[in-house]
Structure 1
Amino acid sequence: MARLLHLNGAPGVGKSTLAQRYAAEHPGVLACDIDRLRCFVGGWEDDFAGAGAVIRPVAQAMIAAHLDGGRDVVLPQMLADEGERAGFRAIAADAGHDYVHVLLRAPRGVAQERLYGRSADDPLHAVVRAEIDAAGGAAAVDELDRRLALSAEGAAGVILLDAGAGPAATYDALVAALG
C-alpha cells in the first residue's frame, strides 16, 4: 500500500523544503509540488490561481498513477479548504492507499520571515510574494495559518508539527511522526 503524504501549512512554513528532502532521502517517492507545476502553464505569472486550477487535475492524475505504481507521493500544498483536501484524500483512499495529513505550523512571524527571505531570483517565489502582498501581506499569512489551524481542529488524524525550529528539526519530527 502506498501513501500520499500531504504537507499542509501557510506560505513560507517549509512545505516544499521538507518535501524535497523527504523525496531525496526516500528513493522512488514523488515530490508533487503543484506550485512548481503551475510554472509549466502558459501565463501562470499573470494568473496564478487560474494556472492552479488548470494544473491541479494534472497533478491529481500524476499522484494517482504514482500511488497505483506502489510508490509514495509527498504533496507540499496549502489546502485550507476541506473540500480540496477531500479530493486529494479520495485519490489515495479510493484506490486503497493511505492519506497522511501533516499540518506545519510555526510561531507568528516565522513563516512570513521565510517567505520574504526567499530569493527574488526564483520567478515562482516572486509571484507567490506578489500574491500574498495583494492579499494583505503578513496579515494574510497569519489568516491562512489561523484558517488551517481551525480546520485541523475538527479533522481526524491530522499530524500537527511545529516548523518553527527550522528545516532540519522539522524534518526529524516529520520522520519520527511517520514512524
Structure 2
Amino acid sequence: MLVLLNGPPGVGKSTMAGLYVDDHPPALNLDIDVLRGQIGGWQADPARAGLLARALAVAAARTHLLAGHDVVVPQFLGRPEFVLELSALAAEVGTEFVEVVLLDIKENVRRRFFERNDPVKHTDAATLSTMYDRLLELLAARPDARIVHAAGIPETYAALRHALAPL
C-alpha cells in the first residue's frame, strides 16, 4: 500500500509515519523533507530541491512497492499535483493508494509547530495559517481522503491504524 500522510506542519505526520513503519517492517518512511535536506545546497533554491526530492521519492517508492512493501509519505501538500502523481504511481504498480489527512484545529497546529523549536523551519504564523487553509481547500476536492483527528500520540496512531484498515 502507498500511504500519503498529509497534514499541516506540526500535526504529527512524521511521528505517525515512524510508528507505522516500526509496526510494519520493512515498510518505508519516505520523508521528502529529509530527502531534500540531503541535496547539496538545497537552501539556495528550496523549490528546485523540493522538486528533485519528490522525483527521488517517486523512484524510491516505485522500487519499494514493486518489492511488495508498504510506503508512507509524510508530507504537507496544499496542491493536488503530487497527490495525483502518487495516486498514479500506485495504479502503475498495482497497489492501493490511501490518502490520509491528519487534522487538528488551527490554533493547536500553530502551538505544536512553534513548540517544536526546529531551527531549520523558518515559517511564520501567517504562512502557517495560509498553509492550513490551502490544505482545507485541497481536502474539499479530495472526497476519498481519510481524515484522522490529531490528539495524543497513542490516540492518533490508533485512529490512523483504523483509517488504514481495509474498508
Q: TM-score, normalised by structure 1?
A: 0.86
Alpha-carbon RMSD: 1.3
Alignment-derived partner of residue 45 in structure 1: 43
Query: Deviation of residue 45 (structure 1)?
Result: 3.1
Amino acid in structure 2 at the alignment position of 1:154: A
State the 4+ residue runs in structure 1 displaced beyond 4 angstroms.
Answer: none
Equivalent residue for 1:178? 164
| Alignment map for 1:1-179 (pairs within 5 Å) | 3-119=1-117, 125-128=118-121, 130=122, 132=123, 137-163=124-150, 165-179=151-165
Deviations, residues 14-43 of structure 1 (Å, cap 9, x unaligned): 111100111111111000000011111111
> What stretches of structure 2 of length at least 5 have no aligned partner?
none
Give the Å deviation of 1:127: 2.3
CA-CA distance at 1:154 after TM superposition: 2.3
1:46 Cα deviation after fit: 3.5
Residue 117 of structure 1, CA deviation: 1.5
User: What amino acid is aligned across from residue 33 of structure 2 in structure 1?
Assistant: D
Give 1:149 deviation, angstroms.
1.5
Q: How many residues align?
A: 165
> What code does the residue aligned with 1:126 have?
P
Unmatched segments (≥5 aa) in structure 1 = 120-124
State the identity as a percent: 38
